[in-house]
């Protein structure tokens, strides 16, 4: 669970966690926020079992490697959490060494696989999460600006993943709601600065896709 690169800590988005879970949730056992190093993230994931009911929320810069999606990944404090790491299994048990819970949100630029990136569908972050235990993954196919509405959208995605029985249908319903709200907003004009988006501009929400097994 990683925040943006300029504030790289292991944590769940606080506002949604407080509202839905009643307490801030962190990856550390002592209740303190930890730096999002590769070691700390790996240690947090190793406390899970593959597909364990729960939500992993990743928000970080996505380092795309179009030539080899298996080494693309999330930029952490000291290294990149590569997609290929999610495919490594324990030789004795056959289980992934970095398991993920049943639901995952990749709130990272262009985290969804695309046909233009060779191998992304089979080797990228989304397929790695599904391989390591996730039943549902939300990811976006475009680069999303770090704006006010992006933060609000993240909260809405977290709420869906924590509460919806059918996350795929819930995402579709939320996007239709955003479309209706944007149709009203678009009549008022757009923001001058892409990083000051306060209304449901489609660049933030329209390209999110749900993946599942």
The pLDDT of 27-35, averaged and rounded, is 53
Quick: pLDDT tens for 96-149: 999 999 999 999 998 987 645 544 456 789 999 999 999 999 999 998 888 888
Q: In what order do the strands lie in the sheet with 62-63?
A: 62-63, 73-75, 80-82
Q: What is the pLDDT of residues 157-196, one digit of tens each?
A: 999 999 999 999 999 999 999 999 998 877 666 656 566 6
Partners of 14 in the β-ladder: none
pTM confidence score: 0.81
């Amino acid at each position: 669970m990683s925040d943006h690169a300029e504030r790289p800590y292991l944590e769940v988005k606080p506002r949604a966690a407080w509202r839905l879970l009643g307490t801030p949730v962190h990856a550390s056992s002592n209740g303190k926020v930890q730096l999002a190093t590769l070691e700390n993230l790996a240690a947090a994931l190793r406390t899970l079992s593959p597909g364990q009911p729960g939500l992993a929320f990743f928000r970080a810069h996505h380092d795309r490697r179009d030539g080899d999606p298996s080494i693309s990944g999330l930029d952490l404090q000291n290294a990149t959490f590569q997609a290929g790491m999610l495919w490594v299994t324990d030789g004795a048990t056959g289980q992934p060494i970095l398991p993920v819970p049943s639901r995952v949100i990749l709130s990272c630029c262009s985290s969804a696989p695309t046909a233009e990136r060779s191998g992304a569908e089979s080797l990228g972050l989304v397929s790695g999460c599904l391989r390591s235990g996730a039943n549902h993954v939300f990811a976006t196919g475009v680069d999303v600006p770090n704006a006010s509405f992006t933060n609000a959208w993240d909260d809405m995605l977290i709420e869906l993943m924590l509460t919806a029985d059918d996350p795929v249908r819930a995402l579709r319903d939320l996007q239709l709601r955003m479309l209706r709200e944007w149709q009203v907003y678009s009549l008022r004009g757009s923001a001058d600065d892409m990083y000051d988006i306060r209304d449901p501009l489609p660049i933030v929400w329209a390209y999110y896709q749900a993946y599942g097994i």
